[in-house]
Structure 1
Amino acid sequence: MEKINIVCPHCFKINAIPKKDSYAKANCGSCKNSLLDTNPVELDESNFDHVIVNSDIPVIVDFWAPWCGPCKMMAPIFNDVAKKYPLKALFVKVNTEALPNMGARFGIRSIPTLVVYKNGVEKQRVSGALDPLRLSNLVNESL
C-alpha cells in the first residue's frame, strides 16, 4: 500500500500513513493527537522548512499581518476552506509582522499572499483576499 508523509500539526513529527481517499481516524504516532485536525497552523523560522519539505500533501501558506484589513476578512474563509481538506492539504499561516524575515525571504510584497507548495517546491502564488470558491479552486488545482 502506498504511503504518504504527513507532518503532525501539533508536534511537527513526520508520520507515514497509508494513502486513502478519506480517513475516519488518523493519529500522530508521537503525540497521539489527530492528524485530521484542519485548523490552520502558525509557522515560524524554526519549523517552516521542515513542514514544507516533509509534507507529501500540498501546503497552503497564508502570509498575513494582524493590522491588515483584507487579511482579517479572509481569515475565516481560510479556516472554513481548510475544513474541507483533512489530510488532503495542510493550511498554515505566517505572521509577517511578527516574522519580517520570513516575508523578506519569500519576497512577500503585499498581504495577504497565498503560496502553494507541493513536494517542497512553490507551485503557485496569489496576492489579495480570495473568496471561498477561488480559494477552493486554488487548493483543488494542487491536489
Structure 2
Amino acid sequence: MTDTLHITCPACQATNRIPAAKLAASPSCGKCKASLFPDAPFELDEARLNKHLRNDEVPLLVDFWAPWCGPCKMMGPMFAEASRQMSPKVRFAKLDTEQHQSVGSRFQIRGIPLIILFNKGKEVARHAGAINADQIVSWVRQNLKG
C-alpha cells in the first residue's frame, strides 16, 4: 500500500490524497486542476488557514505580514525564493494580518513579519523579523528535524 498525504488545494480548498512518492511530480488538484505546490506562496484568510491546518499532512510555513510594513515588503521576495527551494517538502503561504486581525490575537502576534511553521496542524516554531531566503530555509530545516 502506498503512503498517501492529504493536501488542501490553495485555489479551490478541495482536499486531495496524493501518494507521497509523487509529491515531486508537481501534482495538481483533482477538482480544479490547479497546482498543489504553486511557484509562489499562496494567500490565506482565517478560514483557509484553518482548513489547511486541519487537513494538510505537508508542513506549512505561514508569513504573517501587512502591506504597510516595510520589513514585510522587503522579506516578501526572499520568502518566495525560499518557497521555490523547499517545495514540495514544505508549502509556503502568506496571511495579511491587516485584513484578518482576529488571527493576530489568536496566534498572539506581537510584531511582523512573523513566520510560523506548522506540521500536521500544530505550531512547531516561530520567528519574528525579516530574514533572507537562506536563513528561512535553514531555520525550517532545523525546526523540522526530530
Q: Report SS of the residue matched to 1:23.
A: helix
Aligned residues: 143
User: What value does the CA root-mean-square deviation take over the aligned residues?
Assistant: 1.5
Amino acid corresponding to residue 54 of structure 2 in structure 1: V
User: If the length of structure 2 is used for normalisation, what is the TM-score?
Assistant: 0.91
Q: Deviations over 1:36-60 (max 9, x none)?
A: 3132111112211101121111110
Following TM superposition, the consecutive aligned residue runs of length 4 or more in structure 1 with deviations greater than 6 angstroms are: none
Which residue does 2:92 correspond to in 1?
A: 91
Displacement of 1:3 after TM fit?
Answer: 0.7
Give structure 1 stretches of 5+ with no counterpart: none
Percent of paired sites with the same residue: 38
More helix by share: 2
TM-score calculated relative to the size of structure 1:
0.93
Contact map agreement 1:60 1:89 (CA 8 A) in 2: yes
Amino acid at match of 1:115: I
Are the structure 2 counterparts of residues 29 and 122 from structure 1 closer, same or farther at C-alpha, using a change threshold of 3 Å? Answer: same
Residue in 2 that maps onto 1:6: 7
The answer for the alignment partner of 1:123 in structure 2 is 124
Q: Give the letter for the 2:124 counterpart.
A: K
Tell me, what secondary structure is at the counterpart of 1:61? Answer: strand
Q: Alpha-carbon deviation of 1:92?
A: 0.9
Specify the alignment match of 1:68 in structure 2.
69
Paired with 2:124 and 2:29, the residues of 1 have a C-alpha distance of 27
SS of the residue 1:30 aligns to: coil
Q: What's the offset of the Cα at 1:132?
A: 1.4
